Structure 1
Amino acid sequence: MKKKLFIYFHKLREQLWFRPLLFCLVSIAAALFAHQADGTKLDTLVPDIKTESIKGLLDTISSSMLVISIFAVGSMLSAFASASNTATPRSFKIVVTDDMSQNALSVFIGSFIFSIVATVALDNGFYGKSGVFILFLFTLILFALVILTFLRWVNSVSRLGRLEHTISQVESVAAKSLASHIKSPFSNALPIVNPLSDAQSVLSNSVGYVQHIDMAALQELAEESNLKIQLNCLPGDFIHENFEVIAFLKHKDLDLDEIKQKINNAIHVGDTRWFEEDPRFGFIALSEIASKALSPGINDPGTAIQIIGSHERLFFLWNESIADTKENNVRYDRITVPKISMIDFFDDAFRPIARDGGGNIEVMLRLQKVFKSIETISHEDIKKLATLYSKKAYDRAELSMTFKPDLDLLKNESLFFHRATRK
């Protein structure tokens, strides 16, 4: 049940109408709540407010908010199209969930609904003296909120959809996902140390990307059936029906068909990957932006250099105090989880850029400087792979560059060359 609610809520957050709908409901409730003040002691305390003054404000809100809402939707759609075209289609989900834009649209539409409901209630004598006063206060507050939101939104919409802002948004989401992974690399379960012997394979009954694994449901199943479950997939993996082994389990005279179905139900599969639980997906999206910028039709090496800087910042998350910490909060002790190989992170981050930018000296120099930088991180795998990928990047450049002084300069700046000369 929790898994279904999580997935449903995640999908709702991606819908453009969800937050405006919530604000509309709040607006209707506020317009009707003002009536509750009638017949209370407030009648003797509040001043007598003329309904004409409130109607003037409500008319102003109703006549302008619908136009502004349409303008806001048009601007957002243009920004979404720009993000997909100039960056990568994978960034669309991040841009569409931009909090500032959704909040602004929610305020504009909610204000319009509030003004309509309040006007109808006023015209039909729904409010008494106190109700009119409370409605007047609500209207003034809403009017001020609309002005402040509009000013903030104008500043935000000027950046929304622009390539630099999209890169920043993707990096921010990638950093959150990666930091969560570094802190809990095995999702509060146990790492696979010794694979289960004489284990039964569980095949996937779906085709698509693993988006979410309900660890609590798997733990509950393992405790009820006295099982040990070894997962063979992680969020971001593409699995195939009747072919891919998604888990292994050790059992004793159990209804395996039912258990296998429950394991499949705990692993949610979809058509696309999710940034939130897939720490590699952020690297992939950023590298796609860099590859697109390095294409001959666009020829924008500056964007690729900016992406390399984003990757560098992401790798330095391993240099924080939480880096290389062991799993301290094991809640799912009957489940073992595979580890994401560090080489996968390096492939996602640097291979596409080295491939597509192999002939650009500025990009390749920046790449070599990043390898020297991240080699200082206190992580053995990162240190080894930084040298390995420095050599791979140079080898790609050697195949693409024809100007020998550029190659000599690149070699002198490379990490593998400096490591070799120190030996």
Structure 2
Amino acid sequence: MLTERFRFLLNRFRDRLWVKPLAVCLLSIAVAFVAKFADGTGMAKFTPQISLDSIEALLSIMASSMLVIATFSVSSMVSAYASAANTATPRSFILVVSDDASQNALSTFVGAFIFSIVAITAVKNEYFEKAGLFILFVLTVFIFGLVVVTFVRWVDRIARLGRMGTTIEKVEHATAAALRRRLNAPNLCGVPVRSNLEGLAVYAANVGYVQYIDMAALQIWAEQSKVRVVVAALPGSFAAPNNILAYVIADSAERTDIDSTAVALAFQIGGARLFDDDPRFGLVVLSEIAGRALSPAVNDPGTAICVVGTLVRLFTLWSEPEPVGGKQAPKYDRVEVPELSARDMFDDAFTAIARDGAGVVEVAVRLQKALGALAASGNADLREAAEYHSRLAFKRSQNALSISEDLEAVAKAGNFKTKHAESVSSSDGKQQ
């Protein structure tokens, strides 16, 4: 039951830029003293004699260069973060910060600097003997080679970090991971909602967004209190003191002494939405990226078209009839959780694109083709939502496009031939 909670906490640590460098610093201090263990063995008989000057020179070079490289890497990463926030959307910042390659590179540089400082101090104080000096020399050469390889790989990575294509890819991967988790557990490992909402309402104590629901805690409390909990606010929902988080329904209708404090505590509320358990947030971020690209200041329809293709891939993933490995069996039979609504997800994904791209013919055409492809899927909910948004997008294009040929291209892409023929013929008659 602690697996999901541990995953949530681990992801929060990954979002902190200092966690990995601190861990590697502690590891590098330990590695610097590992060589001392060789002095207590008989390795001195077989190891060659290593000059103190050669080790000191190598460690001095590493110590002086690693701090400069680490500082340079931090400045480059900050520039990449600013670029991602300015060109894409500020909501993508957390994904760029948690980039493993950048964190690993920074950790390697800082760790190598700490290792060289500790090792050179120990060498100058004659802490190591013959075998220890040889092991220290081998470790120094290995770390030096690791730094070179990491730096070369990191230069290639930092050249792409913060760019529009990389940011969209990161948002897509985070959203796809959240969708897969929800596909495997549509009700968060609870059971579908089957109770009427006439129980005790539990309100939020803080203002923010629901980031995580501790289903295990709700299940344990419900079993002890002999009640059922109906979740009303899924991860991503806005919470305020007048907003209902859940309903508590007692097994016995006569019970009135229910303390629902534990229910409110099971809802993790923070100041921002997170990608982990909120697939709709990823769709919103992608929509924001497309909306900014379609603004008059940017005027980049190609990015909006790229986002539309990304959304089609995500909804195609969502329309899979059965996830790989099958759905997880309900573990929390006393917690009822509603499933995600396809209409709400389409509203998050396509409303802004249809509104801002209604007057851009290439975006409107691509949007109609994308919605047509989703409407052809075997999922009835997706088909209904796609058809609705296709009609709505075409209405927006009718109001935004003034050239009949552009509107004809959009109508052809969305199979609105009859309505478009009438509108074109009437407009041609008026012009004559």
Q: TM-score range by the shorter chain?
A: over 0.9
Q: How does 1:193-232 map to 2 (within 5 A)?
A: 193-195=194-196, 198-232=198-232
Contact 2:49–2:130, Cα closer than 8 Å, also in 1: yes
Q: Does 1:334 align with 2:330?
A: no
Please, which runs of 5 or more residues in structure 2 have no aligned partner?
422-432
Instruction: Check 1:233–1:397 CA distance in 2 against 1; reply closer, same or farther (3 A cut).
Output: same
Please, which runs of 5 or more residues in structure 1 have no aligned partner?
none
Q: How does 1:373-388 map to 2 (within 5 A)?
A: 373-388=373-388
Q: Give the drift of 1:163.
A: 1.0
The answer to which of 18-27 and 186-195 deviates more is 186-195
Q: In 2, distance between residues paired with 1:237 and 1:419?
A: 39
Q: Give the drift of 1:9.
A: 3.8
Q: In 2, distance between residues paired with 1:129 and 1:31?
A: 15
Which residue does 1:273 correspond to in 2?
273
Q: Does 1:347 align with 2:347?
A: yes
Contact 1:188–1:327, Cα closer than 8 Å, also in 2: no
Specify the SS of the correspondent of 1:256.
coil
Partner deviation per Cα, 1:40-61 (whole Å, 9 max, x = no partner): 1222222221222111211111
Q: Give the drift of 1:77.
A: 0.3
Partner deviation per Cα, 1:242-262 (whole Å, 9 max, x = no partner): x111111123547523xx211
Instruction: Check 1:148–1:207 CA distance in 2 against 1; reply closer, same or farther (3 A cut).
Output: same
Contact 2:183–2:327, Cα closer than 8 Å, also in 1: no
* TM-score computed with the length of structure 2 as normaliser: 0.92
RMSD after superposition: 2.2
Which residue does 1:244 correspond to in 2?
243
Instruction: Check 1:264–1:381 CA distance in 2 against 1; reply closer, same or farther (3 A cut).
Output: same
Partner deviation per Cα, 1:334-369 (whole Å, 9 max, x = no partner): 100012110011011111000001101000000011
Contact 2:66–2:113, Cα closer than 8 Å, also in 1: yes
Q: In 1, distance between residues paired with 2:418 and 2:173?
A: 33
Specify the SS of the correspondent of 1:353.
helix
Partner deviation per Cα, 1:277-305 (whole Å, 9 max, x = no partner): 10101110010010001111111111100
Instruction: Check 1:112–1:255 CA distance in 2 against 1; reply closer, same or farther (3 A cut).
Output: farther
Which residue does 1:369 correspond to in 2?
369
Instruction: Check 1:4–1:168 CA distance in 2 against 1; reply closer, same or farther (3 A cut).
Output: closer
Q: Does 1:97 align with 2:98?
A: yes
Q: In 1, distance between residues paired with 2:114 and 2:398?
A: 64
Q: Does 1:126 align with 2:127?
A: yes
Which residue does 1:57 correspond to in 2?
58
Aligned length: 417
The answer to which of 148-157 and 320-329 deviates more is 320-329
Which residue does 1:12 correspond to in 2?
13
Identity among equivalent positions (%) equals: 44
* TM-score computed with the length of structure 1 as normaliser: 0.94
Q: In 2, distance between residues paired with 1:314 and 1:261?
A: 37
Amino acid across the alignment from 1:294: L
Instruction: Check 1:355–1:383 CA distance in 2 against 1; reply closer, same or farther (3 A cut).
Output: same
Q: Give the drift of 1:322.
A: 2.5
Instruction: Check 1:414–1:130 CA distance in 2 against 1; reply closer, same or farther (3 A cut).
Output: same
Q: In 2, distance between residues paired with 1:291 and 1:6?
A: 32
Q: In 2, distance between residues paired with 1:132 and 1:323?
A: 55
Specify the SS of the correspondent of 2:230.
strand
Q: In 1, distance between residues paired with 2:199 and 2:57?
A: 74
